[in-house]
Amino acid sequence: MYPDVVDLREFYESDLGHMARGLVRERLRKLWPNLSSETLLGMGYATPYMRPFINEAARVMAFMPAQQGITWWPRGWPNLTSLTEEALLPLPDNSVDRILAIHMIENTEHIGDVLQEMGRVLTSNGRMILVVPHRSGWWARDARTPFGFGFSFSLPHIRRILTYHGFQIERHARAMYAPPFATRFLAPYVNWIEKQGNSFLPGLAGVLLIEVSKQVYARPVAKQAVRQTVRPPRFVKEDLIPLPGLGEPTPT
């Protein structure tokens, strides 16, 4: 079950949402420092994190699931969002270089179908980043935020799911160590908390960022059929017996 798009928009307009967006954007930029000449697709509610890529990527688009709803994005620009079925994307095979999925995997009831569909549109050398709530972090326990809505994952858990559905884990990162409360009090110390948490308390991260690629398997070349010459059977005299009432012998 997806959170409503209105609730998502209101969260990212709050001080807490601004903090979460800034922390995750910083990690994203370290994983994807340059997307020039790339096609970028946002899945779920990824638009708060995609603004830095608009003037950089060759093409940017955002698909929001029908169960969630849709908003116009970006403000003041031509709309780049579309409402789609979560596992039926209106794109051809191998057409997207990068996929950023946020508030998507933890909310769907059809995770296998969704991952298969994203893998279908991803190019063979493309990359996808999934941002998911971290099970042992602060944020997964707070239902007031979209990171406390739906499922949460440990790193081994999400790695097994992605591997099972045909993805190769390339690297991962963590973000959002500051707890989702006392925002104004903690605001001056957020960067320090983020640095210390990443070094000493990785288990308290609010989200996991998993970068994957498609596993492309080589198909074996079909062996050419070996032509065999079929020779008619040879009969010897002992194999021929006369049939009653007939003059000609017949092979046994």
Q: In the chain, what are the domain boundaries? A: 5-214
CA 106 to CA 43: how far, in whole Å?
12
CATH number of 5-214: 3.40.50.150
pLDDT of residue 187: 80
> Token pair of 105, please?
């995997």
Q: How many other β-carbons are positioned within 10 Å of the β-carbon of residue 53? A: 20
Q: What does each C-alpha distance from 252 to 182, 242, 246 come to in angstroms? A: 97, 10, 15
Gyration radius of the chain's alpha carbons? 29
User: Could you give the angle at the alpha carbon of 100 between the alpha carbons of 97 and 104, nearest 5°?
Assistant: 135
In single-letter form, the type of residue at position 32 comes to: W
- Residue 232: asked if its preceding bond is cis (omega within 30°), the reply is no
CA separation for the pair 31, 189 (Å, rounded):
24
Instruction: Quote the CA–CA distance of 16 and 10 in Å, as a whole number.
Output: 10
- pLDDT (0 to 100) of residue 222: 46
DSSP letter, residue 109: S
pLDDT at 229: 45
pLDDT value of residue 246: 46
SS3 (DSSP) at 96: strand
The conformational region for residue 44 under phi > 0 = left, psi -120 to 50 = alpha, else beta, is left
- Please give the Cα distance from 202 to 137 (Å, whole number): 9
Could you tell me the two tokens for 50?
């995609």
What is the per-residue pLDDT for 186? 77
> What is the spatial distance between Cα 84 and Cα 106, in angstroms, rounded to a whole number?
18
Distance CA 67, CA 108 (A): 9
Question: Do 184 and 15 touch, CB atoms closer than 8 A?
Answer: yes
Q: What is the mean pLDDT of each run of 10 residues along the chain (252 residues)?
A: 94 94 95 95 97 94 96 92 95 97 96 96 96 95 92 96 96 94 79 89 94 74 45 46 48 47
User: What percentage of the chain's residues is helix, strand, coil (to nearest 5)?
Assistant: 35, 25, 40
Please check whether residue 89 is in contact with residue 63, taking contact to mean a CB–CB distance below 8 angstroms. Answer: yes
CA distance 77 to 83: 18
Tokens of 34: 């340059």
The model carries a pTM of: 0.83
Token duo for residue 74: 């970006």
DSSP code of 36? Answer: B
